[in-house]
Amino acid sequence: MNTNLNSLSGKPVVRLEHVGLRFGDFEALQDINIEIFQGQTLALLGHNGAGKSSLIKLILGLLKPTTGKLVVNNKPNQSSVNLGYLPEDVSFYDKLTGLEVLRYFAALKGINSTRVKLLIEEFELGYAQHKPLKTYSKGMKQRLGVAQAILSQPDILLLDEPTVGLDPQASQFLYQKIDSLKQQGCAVIVCTHELSMVEKHLDSALLLAQGRRVGSGTLDELRQVSGLKSQIKLADFTSIVQRDSFLASFSQGQKLLVDSDERSAVVEYLVQQKQCSDFSVIEPSLESIYHHCMLQQPDRTESNAVATTQKSWRQSLQQLLRPTVSQSPL
């Protein structure tokens, strides 16, 4: 199945058709079909070992697909594409200063010093630019890492866990930068486990489990496909539901639970009923969609001798979620 990640405008800059990747006997990725668009952010999600970093390395050209076809920016190979990359564990030589690091990468890429100065300012590193990296905090190093990744003003930016270990403000800062790059037409691919943070910034998501696609699309598309219900909270729930049989038919606990295709009709009804105007709608979060998609997967680990850890991952997730999922789909 071809997963056109969304129907938003923009040019596809990355296309994978039936892409598979093997390491010896181990299938790290299987039958991945995606298109990634200019000016959009794709969140790449999945458990540890799902294949996210491998997919990023395929797009970068650091790995070659074992099967299928991968086209990046309509070019025959990635060496002629302007790509930016922040690896998972970014580490620079820590005796160099921030400025020296950026100058070094700029020289490698033939970029002038004006761009370096601009990025130092933009990433708020001016006060520390002459200090060695061993004195930098995690947040400063990540800001420097992202500045390095966008030195060449890439068409495609790949960020492998850019906000891991960062405080909420530092993460927010990086996501604001990512948003502004995307507005300039860059296609951004972010691999992360921080679902609530990325949820506010993504245009689409690809969910992987054990190397397979288990969900993809915009948040709305993922909500629709998951079948998870939205919650509607009413200020005066009990008295309203007691006198309204239509609303009562959706009630569960102290809230209304509605399918995505019922939501707008129920909201419209509430707006028309003047006594029920004080309400809020809570849609299924990316995190709940993620857990739902993961739990829908058949356990294929018996057939894959290398995947013992993935099996234990699945068991712990089931244990963790079983009570919540059985009480409420939200």
User: Which residue ranges make up the site for ligand ATP (CB under 6 A)?
Assistant: 23, 26, 28, 46, 48-54
Q: How many residues does the chain have?
A: 330
- Distance (Å) of CA 261 to CA 220, 228, 267: 11, 11, 11
Q: How far is the CB of 28 from ligand ATP (least distance, A)?
A: 4
* Six token digits for residue 177: 């930068």
Would you give the DSSP letter of residue 65?
-
Of the pair 139, 211, the CB lying nearest ligand ATP is at 211
Q: How far is the CB of 48 from ligand ATP (least distance, A)?
A: 3
Of the pair 23, 246, the CB lying nearest ligand ATP is at 23
Q: How far is the CB of 294 from ligand ATP (least distance, A)?
A: 13
Of the pair 187, 209, the CB lying nearest ligand ATP is at 209
Q: How far is the CB of 62 from ligand ATP (least distance, A)?
A: 10
* Six token digits for residue 274: 């003047």
Phi then psi for residue 309, to 5 deg, are: -65, -30
Q: How far is the CB of 24 from ligand ATP (least distance, A)?
A: 7
Of the pair 39, 51, the CB lying nearest ligand ATP is at 51
Query: Can you list the alpha helix ranges (DSSP code H) found in the chain?
Result: 52-60, 98-109, 113-122, 138-149, 168-183, 195-199, 219-226, 237-243, 245-248, 260-272, 286-295, 308-327
Give the Cβ contact number of residue 130 at 10 Å. Answer: 10
Of the pair 231, 310, the CB lying nearest ligand ATP is at 310
